[in-house]
Amino acid sequence: MTTRLLVATHNRGKMREYAALLADLPIEVTWLDAEGIDAEVDETGVTFAENAVLKARAYAAMSGLLTWADDSGLEVDALDGRPGVYSARYGGPGLSDDARYRALLAEMAGVPDAQRTARFHCVVAIAQPGGAVVTADGTVKGTILHEARGSNGFGYDPVFFVAGYDASMAELPAEVKNRISHRARAAAGASELLAHLLPSTPVE
């Protein structure tokens, strides 16, 4: 019997990324919309790890499924690590992705290139319905561009220049992004942990 894994997101782009990253595991991946779950979990943690664990445990309890949740965001050195855990709410409620990254560019308008260093940071938490949780994290370093580049990806991808790739995150092909992104790196560690949580295949 195939284990079902709930990816705790309403974000179709994130769901697609994780489905691709987990394609080699013997699991059936589902997500909140497919399960008819519209409840929102308050992200009251002050770190990515705290928020990921909060969401994983809450949605595992609601669904009765093994649940994969993450919290991720952009940490900009010139802004003392902001927007950080508030990345999805930066600039105010109800803004589109474009509006958020434009607000970031506006705030950083006077910051010179040498001081535009940043990183994407992601923590993945996997919770069992009984409450036990494991976590893994990943980061990718880069700098904040002066203007958006590329049309792939979502969120702050168009304004994040990836160290060592001469491209914004939104200019990278999906196969490259799925290998080097903060979510990919956290997912790599988390998928190893997940493999240990799955039922063993009986030896004949």
Residues with a catalytic annotation lie at 71
CA distance 91 to 103: 6
Could you write out the DSSP letters of every residue in 156-194? TGGGEEETTTTEEGGGS-HHHHHHHSHHHHHHHHHHHHH
Q: What is the distance between the alpha carbons of residues 54 and 33, in angstroms, rounded to a whole number?
A: 19
Amino acid identity for residue 68 in this structure: W
Write out the two tokens for 184: 């990919």
Question: What's the rounded Cα separation, in Å, for the pair 57 and 36?
Answer: 17
Nearest residue to 154 (alpha-carbon basis) of 96, 82, 199: 96
**Which of 74, 191, 80 minimizes the C-alpha distance to 122?**
74
Q: In residues, how long is the chain?
A: 204
